[in-house]
Amino acid sequence: MSAITHRYDFVYLFDVVNGNPNGDPDAGNRPRVDPDTSRGLVTDVCLKRKVRNFVALAKGNVPGFRIYMAEKAILNNSNLEAWTEQGIEPDKKGDYSRLPKDEENARRITRWMCENFFDIRAFGAVMSTDKNAGQVRGPIQLTFAESLDPVSPLEISITRSSVTNERDADKERTMGNKHIVPYGLYRAHGFISARLANDARKGTGFSEEDLSLFWRALGEMFDHDRSAARGEMTARRLIVFEHESDLGNAPAAKLFERVKVSRAPGSDGPPRSFSDYAVTLDEAPLPVGVKALDLI
């Protein structure tokens, strides 16, 4: 597996119908909204979580594709041998007294982590390999996704025809709330810095195979993330700009400007489906050394 050799900048569009794409813990789990513009937000870490979950699902226990930041508790056959070998109590966190002073050792550990865990290769990780928490920076960087138009979250009250506690038996039913966004088309930008994958010293070894898995994850991850809260979420477009060189051939901002999302002709009123929008990629010749790929 060889590390990637091109820089990528991508525009990712996804939408939600009658669901909550990303709740705000500060606002009782209402969909996140930018108070200035009333546009909906989905954080970068929310999207990364879904990528991790998809890879865990698609690759299961394939060597090299483990996910370090796991979501569900994993039933272990408790493996105490490794601990006893080290003479460490399992409840003890990062033992700072035995740091690899030797840079080569620290790097070996990091390399081994990168080889085994997809999410560390892709997104990086903070490891306690030296006093200021040696970090692996992954090549993939995602920004907050923002809806194209203001969203107006609704609070839907629902009833349940059963109760939890016996003392409430005479009440017969309980009430609950759901927050939904009737419709929102969200746009996120992402960057893949090839040097953080292929650099001899800093690279994580993020490979071509990893890259195609990542594109696949963006395309399919919502299909495996169904839940009562989410409503219908769908990946709509993934437009990738591939640069000839690993440092890039054009400013990302200039490339992103070419992807225009506007209201479709003839649609008015609040947007309620993807067909209310028109996505256009500027036809003008791209800068030398840049290719546009339409992956969804």
Residues at the contact surface with another protein, assessed by CB under 8 A:
24-26, 32, 34-36, 41, 43-45, 66-74, 76-79, 81-83, 85-86, 88, 93-95, 98-100, 106, 109, 112-113, 116, 125-129, 131-133, 137, 139, 141-144, 146, 189, 191, 193, 195-196, 245, 247-254
Sorted by sequence, the CB contacts under 8 Å of residue 247 that are 6+ apart come out as 7, 194, 195
Angular region, 150: left φ>0, alpha ψ -120 to 50, beta rest:
beta
CB of 229 to another protein, least distance (A): 15
Inter-residue contact 127 to 74 (CB < 8 Å): no
Q: Which of 12, 96, 5 is nearest to 293 (CA)?
A: 12
- For another protein, the closer of residues 74 and 175 by Cβ is 74
CB of 67 to another protein, least distance (A): 8
- For another protein, the closer of residues 3 and 113 by Cβ is 113
Distance CA 22, CA 236 (A): 17
- For another protein, the closer of residues 228 and 253 by Cβ is 253
Inter-residue contact 270 to 42 (CB < 8 Å): no
CB of 138 to another protein, least distance (A): 9
Which residue reads 């001899």 in tokens?
Answer: 200
- For another protein, the closer of residues 52 and 237 by Cβ is 52
Q: Which two tokens stand for residue 262?
A: 């506007």
Inter-residue contact 129 to 99 (CB < 8 Å): yes
CB of 162 to another protein, least distance (A): 26
- For another protein, the closer of residues 208 and 244 by Cβ is 244
CB of 266 to another protein, least distance (A): 31
CB of 144 to another protein, least distance (A): 6
Sorted by sequence, the CB contacts under 8 Å of residue 264 that are 6+ apart come out as 275, 276, 277, 278
Distance CA 10, CA 16 (A): 20
- For another protein, the closer of residues 101 and 167 by Cβ is 101
Q: Which of 84, 51, 58, 110 is nearest to 235 (CA)?
A: 51
Inter-residue contact 55 to 121 (CB < 8 Å): no
- For another protein, the closer of residues 10 and 183 by Cβ is 10
Distance CA 115, CA 121 (A): 7
CB of 14 to another protein, least distance (A): 17
Q: Which two tokens stand for residue 203?
A: 């690279």
